[in-house]
Amino acid sequence: MAPERLRCTVADAAEVAARVRALVPPGASVADDVREIVAAVRAGGDGALIAFEKRFGGGETPLRVEPEELAGALESLDADVRRGLEVAVANVRRVAEAGVDAEATAELPEGHTVRLREVPVARAAVYVPSGRNPYPSSVVMGAVTARAAGVGEVVVAAGEHPAILAACALCGVDAVFRMGGAQAVAALAYGTETVPAVDVIVGPGSLWVQEAKRQVSGDVGIDGFAGPSDLTVVLSKGADPGPLRLDLLAQAEHGADSLVVAVSDDAELLDSLVGTEQEMTAPSPDGAAEVTAASADASPGVAVHVLADSMDAALAFAEALAPEHLQLAGTAAEALAPRVRSAGCLFVGSESGTAFGDYVAGSNHTLPTGGAARFASGLSARHFRRRMAEVRLGGAAGALARAGAPVARAEGFPRHAASMQIRENPNP
């Protein structure tokens, strides 16, 4: 990576952030192709789904994975990988359960109550990418969170990779289907003879998968549109640049369109993050980890360094960029944490690398991308639950009718008014 160097003040932070975001090329539009696939699977069921699976490299085995296959995959999983996944399951479950809201009842002045009830959806699906790399961690992030939310039935759509199947067994999902791409999303949204229709679909995936989720989002819930991954590191005096440079390189492993940004008010700290190819592939300072030359060459990412004239300017830039991941390292940078509002997930301290969040920290790694952290949240129990108001008026109906009927008539709805007024003096 040969980072571009930009300068930033508080006044021009938003403009600089827009320039940085524009460095990531927009994805090609696959909307029309996806629309055809979704329509075909919705109309043709299993037959169309299997035809698309064969067309795109799958479909030679039954769609549904049998429980014996899942158990076998878990039994043969590398012991260290299994232990790591078990830590992830436990921590993600604890964090997800903490995000389940308690029900609440509001007592209104007229004497009635409105209870806000929390109810989980009945069935949810987790889409797990399994193309260039398998993602058993995505099984954990989606399935464990759905279970913690109280979802009764959790299914997974994924390619047939042993680590993914083992993770499905470890998480106790109800069904696994060998399918991927836009056709899998369509099958989950509308159902086929083999695949049950679900209420919510979550998980990362290719542009085709994300476009399919967008197109079916009027009929099912989704977690959002997952674009290229990004990381912004804000560092100040006292930060350890060695691990932070490796954090940036690790994020670039997600692909050539990954955006990695370093921001500081100290030019020397930014310079310390620039290294030759040999340095980028060398062991980390503690000798515990390394980035291979192959991975560095395959996924260079889009790298940018921003020299801010102050930590306030650094924060203004980060808020305008609204990164998927935001790391704060160094005394002055870490002090910004309470002021951060627009980040998918915030990591504080030089020891708090983003990769921990991808696997075992307990926070969810399915996060808003492309600046959506201004308004969107990472995957949580709330994506699988909905709030429903339960209204009990009792003796308050008369007072509320006197208040509401004039408003209804003003809007041109006399029968709305009448339906309230008939309750002013109910029959004895």
State the DSSP H helix or E strand holding residue 207, giving kind and residue range, or none if neither: helix 207-216
- Plot region of 334 (φ>0 → left; ψ -120 to 50 → alpha; else → beta): alpha
Output the CA torsion 171→172→173→174 (10° steps).
Answer: 180
Q: Please indicate whether residue 325 is annotated as part of the active site.
A: yes
Catalytic residue among 253, 324, 334, 383: 324
Q: Which residues contact 44 (CB under 8 A, 6 or more apart)?
A: 51
Of 15, 23, 4, the residue nearest 263 (C-alpha) = 4
Q: Which residues contact 14 (CB under 8 A, 6 or more apart)?
A: 316, 320
Catalytic residue among 254, 305, 325, 383: 325
97-126 core/surface letters (b: 16 or more CB in 10 A; e: else) = eebbeeeeeeeeeeebeeeeebebbebbbb
Q: Which residues contact 427 (CB under 8 A, 6 or more apart)?
A: none
For 68-133, the three-class secondary structure string (H helix, E strand, C coil) is HHHHHHHHCCCHHHHHHHHHHHHHHHHHHHHCCCCCEEEECCCCCEEEEEEEECCEEEEEECCCCC
C-alpha to C-alpha distance for 159 and 127, rounded to whole angstroms = 10
C-alpha to C-alpha distance for 169 and 229, rounded to whole angstroms = 28
**CA torsion through residues 11, 16, 18, 19, sign:** positive
Q: Which residues contact 48 (CB under 8 A, 6 or more apart)?
A: 40, 41, 183
CA 130, distance to chain mean position in Å, is: 17
Q: Please indicate whether residue 324 is annotated as part of the active site.
A: yes
The residues annotated with a catalytic role in the active site are 324-325
